[in-house]
Amino acid sequence: MSVSASSRPTVSWQRRLYERMGVGFAAVNLVLLLAFFGLLAPHFLTPLALSNILTFASLTGLVVVGVALLMIAGEFDLSVGSNLAVGGFGFAVLLNAGVPALPAFLLALLFCALLGLINGAVVVFTGIPSFIATLGTMLAYRGIARILGGGDFAKYTGPQPVLFNVLNGPLTPLNDLFNTPANFRSVILWFLVLAVVGTVMLHRTRFGNWIFATGGHVEAARAQGVPVRTVKLICFTLTGLLAGLAGVTQFAAGASIDPLRGEGLELIAVVSCVIGGVLLTGGAGSVMGAVVGILLLQTLEQGLILMGISVQVFRAIVGFILVLSVILTTAIGRRE
Amino acid sequence: MENISRRFGSIVAVEDVTLAIYAGEVTALLGDNGAGKSTLIKILTGVYPPTTGRIYFKGKPVQITSPRMARDLGIETVYQDLALVPLMSVARNFFLGREPVKSIGPFRFLDLKTMQERTAAALRDIGIEKFSGGRSVNEPVGKLSGGERQSVAIGRAVHFGASVLILDEPTSALSVAETEKVLHYTRQAKERGLAVIFISHNMSHVMRVADRYIVMRHGRQVADYRKGELTEQDLADLVTGERER
């Protein structure tokens, strides 16, 4: 460290801009994107398309909130998509075995939380980067999901439990307000609750303060007595739990799940966070930013579909956004 | 610390060091790279256990087995770059690990107002005027200069009742004006009755702030002098080995 450099702040203006812009920038982009598709995509500004965006963003968003907290704590979880499938298949297997809906639901969540905890334990106790560790468990958990489903679809054909409607039922009074079809579902409400609880926890509790500290400067956090390992373990477990919740909720919508369910979700989740201002290197970001991020991506997907453009194009665009943000983050890091 | 030794395999990092640190004094710990100063400090702060030897704290024998335990005893260390989280605000850093909370029903929320007020007051109290406005305790630490960061870290240790304050190279890589501030706060900590251990390479900074000089060389303590007994040149010669003891 040179003498002149040290007395200057080490948070560059680029980084501050990046953080400030985070949520606002993503929100502006969201509005622009809505306007763009509103003009160009047929049937985009209809209750059906817009409610679909909200419903599907909420389904994925359950996972995104967990991933955002985990990324702010400085870690990744690439296994969320597989874990989601485990949740869905586990729930299906239990239901078909005659377990009542509520215990089946809780058991599936518990199992997914355990898989999240395993991710955390591997990372925290071996020091393997979470990117690599969860790449491994992504494959392992996908395997578990396939074993649960026998490599095939899982369906549930029994009488529909009330829980299905609670988790992901149509919000009929709201849908009936429109004279064209609409697809507002209760998952939107759960997502909203989760986003608010996540935000309050992150910014207004000791644990939230510890998440920022752990991701921002793990040594400084430890030196001040922050239990950094516990913080990471809890964030990994929470991410697993929410992935499971998303899996069960998806299953509740159609009472079926396919073996590929959740594939590529890790990419969507990370990109949602990054475009919402969560730092790839941890220590900064917000749940609300990530929420705007997933809304933006879902809008993009829905718009492209309505324009008749292949879903693969959407994936490609998301991939490029991630690469760009990595380049940006690295450039900022180098300047510091 | 009595007869402290520490070996790493066959390497003797610290050999048979006995020294006492007193409250209300700045004790400078000097030595070249690899002289054993940081190992000695890590033993005192619970990072490494000593291979042999005993530590007494306020007259009682203690076994310091973790950094957490050192902190609970009131031994605070301010490391060069390891003290604060750059992306977090001054107030959040100040209370990191001991955040005040308010209960609302079964939930406990951060008492942000108390955090801001107490941080501003504590920093004003040790003379860091910059934070008297109340607004700037919400700025990220990354916006502060190196000297300001050291000052905040020292202020934090003083505020939370540390009795031993270890400053690890607090002035290295600081500008002249910044160094002045840090030396000033170091003296203030001493005047409040803390025992300050000041680790530095810089002889002139040491001369200006320390009441006592302890020099280490090749893992051994080779000198223990009081202020006024040595010139800056003597001190430098002791560090390099030009002068034996």
Task: Assess A202–B contact: CB distance below 8 Å, yes or no.
Answer: no
Asked whether residue B94 falls in the same domain as residue B209, the answer is no
- Residue B196 CA to residue B198 CA, distance in Å, equals 6
Question: CATH code at B190?
Answer: 3.40.50.300
Tokens 């025992």 belong to residue: B195
Asked whether residue B193 falls in the same domain as residue B232, the answer is yes
Report the helix count and the strand count for chain A, using DSSP H and E. 15, 2
- Would you call B85 and A6 a contact, using CB atoms and an 8 Å cutoff? no
In Å, how far from its chain's centre is CA A244? 12
Q: Which residue of B has its CA nearest to A336?
A: B142
Split into its structural domains, chain A has a count of 1
Task: Assess A284–B contact: CB distance below 8 Å, yes or no.
Answer: yes
B6 — phi, psi (to 5°)?
Answer: -145, 125
Nearest to B122 by CA among B87, B99, B97, B95: B95
Chain A residues lying within 8 Å of B143, measured CB to CB = 9, 11
- Would you call B85 and A221 a contact, using CB atoms and an 8 Å cutoff? yes
- Which residues 66-85 of B are in CB contact (within 8 Å) with A? 67-68, 71, 77, 79, 82-85
Chain segment A9-67, per-residue pLDDT in tens: 445 555 555 555 567 777 888 888 898 999 888 899 999 999 999 999 999 999 999 99
Task: Assess A74–B contact: CB distance below 8 Å, yes or no.
Answer: no
What six digits make up the tokens of A87?
Answer: 């949740």
Does residue B134 surpass a pLDDT of 70? no
H/E stretch holding A266: helix A265-275
Nearest to A248 by CA among A29, A85, A45: A85
Residue pair B181/B21 in contact by the 8 Å Cβ criterion: no
In Å, how far from its chain's centre is CA A213? 21
Identify the bridge partners of residue B198 per DSSP, sorted by sequence position: B28, B167
Asked whether residue B92 falls in the same domain as residue B81, the answer is no
Decide if B73 is inside a domain: yes
- Residue A248 CA to residue A229 CA, distance in Å, equals 29
Q: Which residue of A has its CA nearest to B69?
A: A225
What six digits make up the tokens of B123?
Answer: 């920093």
More confident residue, B117 or A90: A90
Question: CATH code at A323?
Answer: 1.10.3470
- Helix crossing, B176-191 with B146-159: angle to 10°? 10
- Residue B145 CA to residue B139 CA, distance in Å, equals 12
pLDDT given at position B172: 78
Task: Assess B160–A contact: CB distance below 8 Å, yes or no.
Answer: no
Q: Per-residue confidence at B106, pLDDT binned at 50, 70, 90?
A: confident
Does residue B175 surpass a pLDDT of 90? no
Chain A residues lying within 8 Å of B92, measured CB to CB = 209, 212-213
pLDDT given at position B180: 85
Chain A residues lying within 8 Å of B116, measured CB to CB = none
Nearest CB among A2, A204, A223 relative to B82 is that of A223
Decide if B245 is inside a domain: no
Chain B residues lying within 8 Å of A7, measured CB to CB = 145-147, 174-175, 178
Tokens 């064209």 belong to residue: A180
Q: Which residue of B has its CA nearest to A226?
A: B97
Chain B residues lying within 8 Å of A212, measured CB to CB = 85, 87-88, 92
Cβ neighbours for A287, distance < 8 A, ≥ 6 positions apart: A65, A68, A69, A195, A198, A199, A202
Chain B residues lying within 8 Å of A279, measured CB to CB = 87
Mean pLDDT split into 10-residue runs, chain A, 336 residues: 37 56 76 89 92 96 98 97 97 95 97 98 96 97 94 88 91 91 95 97 96 94 90 98 97 89 94 90 93 94 91 88 82 66
Asked whether residue B7 falls in the same domain as residue B33, the answer is yes
pLDDT given at position B32: 84
Task: Assess A43–B contact: CB distance below 8 Å, yes or no.
Answer: no
Decide if B104 is inside a domain: yes
Domain that holds residue A66: 62-328
Q: Please report how many Cα atoms fall inside a 13 Å half-sphere around the Cα of residue A204, on the Cβ side.
A: 13
Decide if B172 is inside a domain: yes
- Would you call B88 and A2 a contact, using CB atoms and an 8 Å cutoff? no
Does residue B33 surpass a pLDDT of 60? yes
Q: Phi/psi zone of residue B197: left (φ > 0), alpha (ψ -120 to 50 degrees), beta?
A: beta
Asked whether residue B164 falls in the same domain as residue B60, the answer is yes
Q: Per-residue confidence at B131, pLDDT binned at 50, 70, 90?
A: low
Decide if A221 is inside a domain: yes
Percent of chain B past pLDDT 70, that is, above it, reads 93
Cβ–Cβ pairs < 8 A, chains A and B: 97
More confident residue, B89 or B150: B89
β pairing state of B52-57 and B101-104:
unpaired
B47 — phi, psi (to 5°)?
Answer: -75, -45
- Would you call B97 and A226 a contact, using CB atoms and an 8 Å cutoff? yes
Asked whether residue B32 falls in the same domain as residue B17, the answer is yes
β pairing state of B26-30 and B212-217:
parallel
Asked whether residue B150 falls in the same domain as residue B215, the answer is yes
pTM, entire model? 0.87
Task: Assess A39–B contact: CB distance below 8 Å, yes or no.
Answer: no
Mean pLDDT (chain B, rounded): 84
- Would you call B97 and A225 a contact, using CB atoms and an 8 Å cutoff? yes
pLDDT given at position A1: 31
Decide if A159 is inside a domain: yes
pLDDT given at position A13: 57
Task: Assess A152–B contact: CB distance below 8 Å, yes or no.
Answer: no
pLDDT given at position A8: 41
Residue pair B151/B90 in contact by the 8 Å Cβ criterion: no
Task: Assess B102–A contact: CB distance below 8 Å, yes or no.
Answer: no
- Residue A23 CA to residue B86 CA, distance in Å, equals 20
Nearest to A21 by CA among A334, A203, A212, A292: A292
pLDDT given at position A225: 83
Residue pair B36/B219 in contact by the 8 Å Cβ criterion: yes
Cβ neighbours for A215, distance < 8 A, ≥ 6 positions apart: A71, A72, A73, A74, A75, A279, A281, A282, A283, A284
Residue pair B92/A209 in contact by the 8 Å Cβ criterion: yes
Chain A residues lying within 8 Å of B173, measured CB to CB = 1-3, 6
Give the minimum alpha-carbon distance from B66 to chain A in angstroms, rounded to a whole number: 10
Asked whether residue B111 falls in the same domain as residue B34, the answer is no
Pick the residue of B71, B85, B112 with the most A CBs within 10 A to test the interface with A by mutation.
Answer: B85
In angstroms, what CA-CA distances link A98 with A109, A157, A159, B177? 17, 12, 11, 75
Residue pair B238/B215 in contact by the 8 Å Cβ criterion: yes
Decide if A32 is inside a domain: no
Task: Assess A208–B contact: CB distance below 8 Å, yes or no.
Answer: yes
Decide if A41 is inside a domain: no
Split into its structural domains, chain B has a count of 2
Asked whether residue B156 falls in the same domain as residue B51, the answer is yes
Give the minimum alpha-carbon distance from A105 to chain B in angstroms, rounded to a whole number: 26
Decide if A12 is inside a domain: no
Domain that holds residue B132: 88-139
Provide the Cα torsion B202, B208, B209, B213; round to 10°: 70
Residue pair A212/A284 in contact by the 8 Å Cβ criterion: yes
Task: Assess A196–B contact: CB distance below 8 Å, yes or no.
Answer: no
In angstroms, what CA-CA distances link A146 with A138, A259, A260, A306, A332? 12, 6, 9, 32, 41
Q: Per-residue confidence at B173, pLDDT binned at 50, 70, 90?
A: confident
Decide if A6 is inside a domain: no
Taken as a whole, chain B contains a residue count of 245
Chain segment B147-156, per-residue pLDDT in tens: 888 888 888 8
Tokens 């308010």 belong to residue: B102
- Would you call B99 and A209 a contact, using CB atoms and an 8 Å cutoff? yes
Q: Which residue of A has its CA nearest to B111?
A: A204
Q: Which residue of B has its CA nearest to A224?
A: B97
Residue pair A154/A20 in contact by the 8 Å Cβ criterion: no
Asked whether residue B122 falls in the same domain as residue B154, the answer is no
Nearest CB among B67, B101, B173 relative to A6 is that of B173
H/E stretch holding B114: helix B112-125
3-class SS of residue B57: strand
Give the minimum alpha-carbon distance from B19 to chain A in angstroms, rounded to a whole number: 25
Chain B residues lying within 8 Å of A335, measured CB to CB = none
Task: Assess B113–A contact: CB distance below 8 Å, yes or no.
Answer: no
Q: Which residue of B has its CA nearest to A1?
A: B173
Examine the fold and report which residue of B96, B112, B139 is the final residue of a domain before the chain moves on.
B139
Decide if A57 is inside a domain: no
Identify the bridge partners of residue B60 per DSSP, sorted by sequence position: B57
Residue pair A66/A242 in contact by the 8 Å Cβ criterion: yes
Decide if A43 is inside a domain: no
Asked whether residue B153 falls in the same domain as residue B33, the answer is yes
